[in-house]
């Protein structure tokens, strides 16, 4: 995924603390045992029992972001995902508002065998694509093979490839990826789809619920010029950019809505009359790109839009609370984690000044001393941040894992704001040199992000209060510049975050804490014990054992102090009060960040 783009999904900029409260991902299925065979059975609803009530009305959603793609194979952002999840369907989806219970969707049941290395999915009969083509096993087989072939880090297929092929890379980057491995990993046995994994993956079912694993109409895709699914042509399709593919322009899914039109400023979908399940209540859905926040809010208050991107809690509380016709759903579960990272081997000169411990800069390895890191952590006033930025909502996190996720142990005490402790840490750091000589460090925040700026200002004030020789210079930069600097290792400290690809703790823990994860190579952090625990947790299916390992990792991570953990931020959603189907009982944060549910489950009075 593209690094730190607010409209993308995995890596979130600090501005997302107020503007992006919800994210698309998948849900985790708890597996009680790592041996034997287990079976999960779905409801067996078919089109025969679908409602015959004619859909009516229009749902209007206004946002600032455009829709980069409608091709599931490369959908990896919230804006695209909210459309794709309604045009297409996955094999499994989440049960109600749960992050841990899955139910079948295009499958009717599945069995797990081979100690977690084989999954067999019985597929639903009587399902049609928007073209009128019948849904068959070959479509699912084609979909997953295509995802493995075209896999790039800018799609959600790297984690599918990791499960099925044992690598995050495609065949261009890993010569071990062969056509034979791909075809062995995904096959059809009649109308049963079979996955074979090189080793057990406790998050595999959760990954299949991710929107990017939606099933495409293979006959239609091949007809309009997509990869033909054969060995003869697969190498030419490896790693291909499919953002603007023929399928992105002319989608055909099994979802309750089909595309009517897509322009640079709007996407329009309408209820699919041959949908296999119950017909939606709302006939048409229009997503409009309205960059100006004031224009969105005006349309919302007038009732010309049902849901808009508001700008976050502060805007909702100041401008929309108690307004006629507007309902507010608060205290929504948080599914993101944010932190201020500390780079232990800073490249370049911009962040380190003199490059020496002389009060005019810092050595490049300044943050390699754990007492420096602990001092910065203890100097951050989390309660003040919660009050000033989050209007009193939220609590300190002990781990960069959402507290709503399996594996988060709330009994572990989070690092606390303690100036006295910070003072003692700094006195010990670098054998007393930090305290005696002082330091000057340049840290960055995203230009225009009030949340990131406030967080850095809180840190600066407290650090400089401890010792007059301490200086923290905060610099506003364009996000693209921070991205580049983070990748090159030239940023000393950055506030950033992560939203889930799928609802399994590994997606956060590996990302933030493993030496081969996303962040640690960028901040030059490594702990062999943490690596060992993470790798063990991601290879077993016993939930109790995994949770115990994550608790151990959390405790050791607090001691290592690689990050200043930002508090969790409960979400808040404003919507027109004549829109039904949005509630805490039904809201699932792994679904659309605009509604928290499928469009088909909404209605208007």
- What SS3 class is residue 328? strand
- Judged against a pLDDT cut of 90, whether residue 6 lies above it is answered with no
Cβ distance 407 to 440 under 8 Å? Answer: no
Rg of the chain over all Cα atoms, to the nearest angstrom: 24
Q: Give me the mean pLDDT over the 345-351 stretch.
A: 94
- Judged against a pLDDT cut of 50, whether residue 599 lies above it is answered with yes
CA-to-CA distance for 411 and 379, rounded, in angstroms?
A: 23
Look at residue 11 in the predicted model and tell me its pLDDT: 46
- Judged against a pLDDT cut of 80, whether residue 228 lies above it is answered with yes
Pairing of strands 107-113, 118-123: antiparallel
CA-to-CA distance for 519 and 13, rounded, in angstroms?
A: 14
**Which CATH architecture group holds 23-57+69-248?**
Alpha-Beta Complex (3.90)
Look at residue 76 in the predicted model and tell me its pLDDT: 86
What band does 20 get if pLDDT is binned at 50, 70 and 90? Answer: very low
- Judged against a pLDDT cut of 70, whether residue 255 lies above it is answered with yes
| Span 409-440, pLDDT tens digits | 999 999 999 999 999 999 999 999 999 999 99
| Span 435-494, pLDDT tens digits | 999 999 999 988 877 788 999 999 999 999 999 999 999 999 887 788 889 889 999 999
The residues near 324 (Cβ < 8 Å, ≥ 6 apart) are: none
Look at residue 46 in the predicted model and tell me its pLDDT: 45
User: What are the extents of the domains in the chain?
Assistant: 23-57+69-248, 339-565
Cβ distance 478 to 514 under 8 Å? Answer: no
Residues 572, 578, 579, 580: what is their CA dihedral angle, to the nearest 10 degrees?
100
Look at residue 35 in the predicted model and tell me its pLDDT: 35
- Judged against a pLDDT cut of 50, whether residue 590 lies above it is answered with yes
Q: Give me the mean pLDDT over the 521-532 stretch.
A: 97
| Residue carrying the six token digits 């709007």 | 266
Q: What is the DSSP-derived secondary structure letter of residue 567? A: P
- What SS3 class is residue 104? strand
Q: What is the DSSP-derived secondary structure letter of residue 124? A: P
**Which CATH architecture group holds 339-565?**
Roll (3.10)
Look at residue 65 in the predicted model and tell me its pLDDT: 80
Look at residue 40 in the predicted model and tell me its pLDDT: 53
Least confident segment among 39-53, 290-304, 392-406: 39-53
| Span 282-333, pLDDT tens digits | 999 999 999 999 999 999 999 999 999 998 888 999 999 999 999 999 999 8
| Span 366-379, pLDDT tens digits | 999 999 999 999 99
Look at residue 496 in the predicted model and tell me its pLDDT: 83
Q: Kindly provide the residue ranges of all beta strands, DSSP E only, lying in 211-336, ordered along the sequence.
A: 257-262, 266-271, 282-289, 307-308, 326-332
| Span 147-180, pLDDT tens digits | 999 999 878 899 999 999 999 999 999 999 999 9
CA-to-CA distance for 279 and 530, rounded, in angstroms?
A: 49
- Judged against a pLDDT cut of 80, whether residue 564 lies above it is answered with yes
Q: What angle do CA 6, 397, 11 make, to 5 degrees?
A: 20
CA-to-CA distance for 263 and 34, rounded, in angstroms?
A: 48
């Amino acid at each position: 995924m593209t690094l730190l783009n607010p409209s993308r999904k995995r890596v979130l900029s600090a501005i997302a603390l107020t503007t992006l409260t919800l994210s698309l991902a998948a849900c985790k299925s708890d597996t009680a045992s790592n041996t034997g065979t287990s079976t999960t059975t779905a409801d067996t609803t078919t089109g025969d029992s679908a409602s015959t009530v004619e859909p009516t009305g229009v749902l209007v959603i206004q946002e600032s972001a455009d829709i980069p793609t409608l091709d599931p194979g490369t959908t990896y952002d919230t804006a695209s995902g909210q459309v794709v999840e309604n045009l297409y369907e996955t094999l499994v989806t989440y049960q109600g508002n749960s992050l841990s219970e899955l139910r079948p969707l295009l499958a009717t049941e599945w069995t797990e065998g081979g100690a977690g290395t084989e999954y067999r999915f019985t597929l639903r009969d009587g399902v049609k694509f928007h073209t009128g083509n019948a849904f068959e096993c070959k479509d699912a087989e084609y979909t997953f093979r295509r995802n493995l072939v075209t896999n790039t880090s800018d799609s959600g297929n790297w984690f599918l490839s990791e499960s099925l092929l044992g690598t995050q890379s495609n065949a261009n980057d890993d010569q071990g990826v062969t056509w034979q491995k791909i075809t062995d990993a995904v096959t059809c046995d009649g109308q049963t789809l079979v996955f074979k994994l090189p080793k057990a993956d406790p998050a595999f079912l959760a990954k299949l619920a991710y929107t990017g694993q939606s099933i495409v109409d293979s006959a239609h895709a091949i007809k309009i010029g997509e990869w033909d699914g054969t060995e003869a042509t697969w190498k030419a399709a490896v790693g291909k950019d499919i953002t603007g593919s023929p399928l992105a322009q002319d989608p055909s899914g099994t979802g309750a809505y089909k595309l009517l039109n897509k322009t640079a400023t709007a996407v329009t979908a309408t209820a699919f009359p041959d949908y296999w399940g119950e017909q939606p209540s709302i006939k048409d859905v229009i997503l409009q790109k309205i960059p100006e926040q004031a224009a969105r809010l005006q349309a919302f208050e007038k009732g010309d839009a049902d849901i808009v991107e508001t700008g976050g809690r502060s805007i909702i509380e100041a401008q929309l609370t108690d307004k006629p016709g507007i309902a507010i759903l608060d205290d929504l579960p948080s599914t993101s984690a944010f932190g201020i990272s500390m780079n232990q081997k800073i490249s370049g000169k911009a962040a380190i000044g003199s490059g020496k411990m002389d009060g005019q800069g810092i050595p490049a390895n300044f943050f390699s001393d754990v007492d420096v890191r602990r001092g910065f952590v203890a100097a951050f006033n989390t309660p003040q941040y919660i009050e000033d930025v989050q209007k009193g909502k939220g609590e300190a996190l002990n781990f960069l894992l959402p507290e709503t996720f399996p594996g988060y142990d709330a009994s572990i005490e989070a690092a606390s704001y303690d100036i006295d402790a910070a003072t003692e840490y700094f006195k010990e750091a670098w054998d007393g040199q930090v305290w005696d000589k002082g330091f000057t460090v340049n840290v960055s925040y995203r230009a225009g992000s009030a949340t990131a700026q406030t967080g850095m200002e809180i840190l600066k004030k407290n650090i400089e209060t401890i010792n007059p020789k301490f200086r923290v210079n905060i610099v506003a930069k364009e996000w693209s510049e921070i991205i580049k600097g983070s990748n090159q290792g030239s940023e000393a400290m950055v506030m950033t975050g992560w939203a889930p690809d799928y609802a399994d703790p590994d997606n956060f823990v590996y990302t933030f804490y493993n030496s081969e994860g996303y962040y640690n190579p960028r901040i030059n952090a490594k702990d062999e014990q943490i690596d060992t625990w993470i790798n063990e947790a991601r290879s077993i299916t016993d939930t109790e054992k995994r949770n115990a390992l994550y608790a151990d990792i959390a405790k050791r991570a607090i001691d290592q102090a690689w990050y200043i953990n930002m508090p969790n931020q409960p979400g808040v959603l404003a919507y027109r009060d004549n829109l039904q189907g949005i509630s805490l009982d039904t809201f699932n944060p792994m679904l659309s960040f605009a509604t928290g549910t499928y469009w088909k489950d909404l209605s208007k009075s």
